[in-house]
Amino acid sequence: MKQEILEAVKKAKEESQPRNFTQSVDVVITIKDLDVKKPENRIDEEVLLPNGRGKDVKIAFIADGELALQAKNAGADMVINKGELEEMGKDRKEAKKIANRLDFFVAQADMMPLVGRFLGPVLGPRKKMPKPVPAT
């Protein structure tokens, strides 16, 4: 099965006309007899691409205290504390700019209710809601 998929992709790439832009590939998999309307049957999987995304990833970390300091030292592109988060909730234009500029968001688990209230309307439609991490 794996070999058949690889051959099909190779054939499609060889037979296509040259393009003046970077092409992407969408994969659609149909699974019979699976009702995705039921929450327990939904599939949400992250896949590590073998050659990366082709550009640097920008990550924001939403945290307070020691975890915020650790994120800053680890090289997070932006660290947002509780006060800044509340300000973004009031300034929707700034929140949209940040959501568009950054690729991924990670949040301290106990700050997730605030993230949902202040940034949820901006990050949710963009499918960029933060992944919660426990405070250490």
| Length in residues, the chain | 136
> Residue 55: its pLDDT value, please?
83
| The pLDDT of residue 1 is above 80 | no
Q: What is the predicted pLDDT for the residue at 46?
A: 77
Average pLDDT over residues 58-80: 93
Residue 26 has pLDDT above 80, yes or no: no
pLDDT in tens, 73-130: 999 999 999 999 999 989 999 999 999 999 999 999 999 999 999 999 999 999 899 9
Question: pTM score, two decimals?
Answer: 0.67
First-last CA distance in the chain: 44
H or E stretch covering 62 = strand 59-62
Q: What is the mean pLDDT of residues 21-31?
A: 77
Residues 6+ apart with CB under 8 A from 35: 41
One-character DSSP codes across 10-30: HHHHHHSPP-SS---------
Q: Which pLDDT does position 136 carry in this prediction? A: 64
What whole-number distance in Å separates Cα of residue 16 and Cα of residue 76?
40
**Cα 89 from Cα 86, distance rounded (Å):** 5
Report all structural domains of the chain as residue ranges with CATH numbers, in order of start: 2-41 (no CATH), 59-133 (3.40.50.790)
Averaged pLDDT for residues 32-54 = 81
Distance from chain centroid for Cα 126? 9
Of 19 and 112, the structure prediction assigns the larger pLDDT to 112
Q: Is the distance from CB of 80 to CB of 101 less than 8 angstroms?
A: no
Instruction: Give the span between the Cα atoms of 33 and 18, in whole angstroms.
Output: 39
Contact 132, 105 (CB under 8 A): no
